[in-house]
A and B are shown apart, each in its own frame.
Chain A
């Protein structure tokens, strides 16, 4: 494989978990629910997928378990913020705090006796790239096809989510709930049901992003395997201005930063590793500032108008 193809392959692989989680969070935020629990849900998705694959030896079961766990955590967030009208920021933060602690606890408890109940350091089946051997020989092109099933799923989900949001009736309903729940309600759309549905769906996709980490990108379980990716996802949602079609650019940019960082580290640069590791975080801040500034200049509002607010018919 030539240099460019290898960089591109790693970039797409690194971007997969970010993109799928970003699409999920876009759907959730489009309904007006801000879910800051992404980091926690990704961690729980990574842990549950790895554990399930380790014991069942089936990738399919691992992915299904992760989807279930992600859906449950998102259901909790939907219940707290929609039915109990809790503060969305704090509810999301608690999901992340809980997910971080619980995944660390389970990681020291769900392992086999032989490993002192730990999951760290164990190996399980991985999701392998699907492409046949002859495709891997084609430069550049092979970077897109020499990928695993979750990346392929992202290829399908990206246009699908865009089409759904902007070209279908349920997509229009979803956007109207996030923009103006009062009007949506008056038009006969069930605001509560919509918010539950897309928060749960979003949670499932976020957990799949986590599963991709522990089953493919960095196979195995380690505490805080996400390393802040969940928070980068929230930045990517802003970066993409809540449009799934744009999610891919942000994810590729950050996947690219990761890839460059690895290459630099491998090449033995004189920049200390700590400063290289700061790159994604500094990058996020810069992108965020530029995007916010640009949005203000061009007077474009990307965020759903009702994002972060709870809706209660009786309050009117």
Chain B
């Protein structure tokens, strides 16, 4: 008996759907083991998590609050990853988007009367994210500088800069020493739909559908797909590889920047601590679990947001560290990565033929 992996002619559709679901289940089992080791009842914990995240209207609203930035950054990361541009700078792009949105809302009120202030702030966030992501994209396409490192280093720079602003020049003098800017005008507040959840959820879902259409139905989407598969092939077909990569990565950054602008205009209404709490990194999990398909991103984002809100709940109810939700999110990726083999390869058990040196070629 011999085990062989044979490459599939095309990716397996059932595997594309089954692998994320099985990975989720495996991560539940692994975390249950972990919980048991630390003397907590896994079933009770999971029940508390599920109720905390989806069982009450307050919990569900909080899940949506976390799902919105995950959705936006997840979409952004997915676009970049499709081009094999490893943008792990979503966190910094989100932060700077938030900074720019807050800057517009705080200091440009006289140029944008009424509701236009909100749109100006959102546009500012979008632009800041796009420009911040443009730097590593240009360095990558012109000088071939490794983008994983540049995007990550730029996260630290963006976060330190935002801290400088809300601890320093933007700090509210009437804030009793609280690290944060003053609250900006209600003209720049995003309308809310349920609890703290705001209309960003609809924007996120709409963007997921639009992006899917762009990727599947337009010429540009087709070009991006070829670049992602092989840059060489794209060049032979006369596609402007560099320009397209820069544009797509700036789009990726724009989505992350908009996520930050949503956080500022929808939730906190000021620039303050707690803008950068890791959404940009969880976005990598969201994108990969969605198999880089924009249509899957909203579902995965809501599921992962549920884990995180459920994790907070577990901390309050059962005294377990809230980081447990993060551990579960991390644990999902391992079975997911192991399982992706099955979408591209099939697993065969070959019985060795007597006198045959090689395994028989398969029938297909």
Residues of A within 8 A of B (CB): 36, 76, 79-80, 84-87, 89-91, 93-94, 97-102, 104-105, 108-109, 228, 231, 234-235, 238, 272, 274-275, 277-278, 281-282, 284-285, 288-289, 292-293, 296, 312, 314-315
For B, the interface residue count at a CB cutoff of 8 angstroms equals 47
Interface CB pairs A-B, < 8 A, 12: A80-B337, A84-B341, A94-B337, A97-B333, A102-B323, A105-B327, A274-B167, A277-B160, A278-B160, A278-B161, A288-B145, A289-B143
Chain A residues lying within 8 Å of B86, measured Cβ to Cβ, are 89
Q: Please, how many angstroms separate the alpha-carbon atoms of A101 and B333 in the complex?
A: 13
Q: Please, how many angstroms separate the alpha-carbon atoms of A151 and B285 in the complex?
A: 37
Using A87-B337, A104-B323, A312-B5 as known contacts, say yes or no to A238 and B146 having CB atoms under 8 A apart: yes
**Per-position binary interface string of chain B over residues 308-332, scored 1 when its CB falls under 8 Å from any chain A CB and 0 otherwise:** 0000000000001101101101110
Residues of B within 8 A of A (CB): 4-7, 38, 86, 88, 139, 143-146, 148-150, 152-154, 156-157, 160-161, 163-164, 167-168, 281-282, 284-285, 288, 320-321, 323-324, 326-327, 329-331, 333-334, 337-338, 340-341, 345
A97, A231, A289: which contacts B145 (Cβ < 8 A)? A289
Chain A residues lying within 8 Å of B5, measured Cβ to Cβ, are 312, 314
Whether B321 pairs with A274 at a CB distance below 8 angstroms is no
A89, A94, A98, A277: which contacts B148 (Cβ < 8 A)? A89
Chain B residues lying within 8 Å of A234, measured Cβ to Cβ, are 148-149
Chain B residues lying within 8 Å of A238, measured Cβ to Cβ, are 146, 149
The closest CB in chain A to the CB of B6 belongs to A314
The number of inter-chain residue pairs (CB within 8 angstroms) is: 130
Q: Please, how many angstroms separate the alpha-carbon atoms of A274 and B160 in the complex?
A: 5
Whether B168 pairs with A272 at a CB distance below 8 angstroms is yes
Whether B153 pairs with A84 at a CB distance below 8 angstroms is no
Using A93-B284, A105-B326, A278-B157 as known contacts, say yes or no to A98 and B337 having CB atoms under 8 A apart: no
Chain B residues lying within 8 Å of A94, measured Cβ to Cβ, are 284-285, 330, 333-334, 337
- Interface of chain A: mostly helix, strand, loop or mixed: helix
Whether A98 pairs with B321 at a CB distance below 8 angstroms is no
Whether B149 pairs with A274 at a CB distance below 8 angstroms is no
Chain A residues lying within 8 Å of B331, measured Cβ to Cβ, are 98
Q: Please, how many angstroms separate the alpha-carbon atoms of A275 and B285 in the complex?
A: 31
User: How many Å from the CB of B16 to the closest CB on chain A?
Assistant: 15
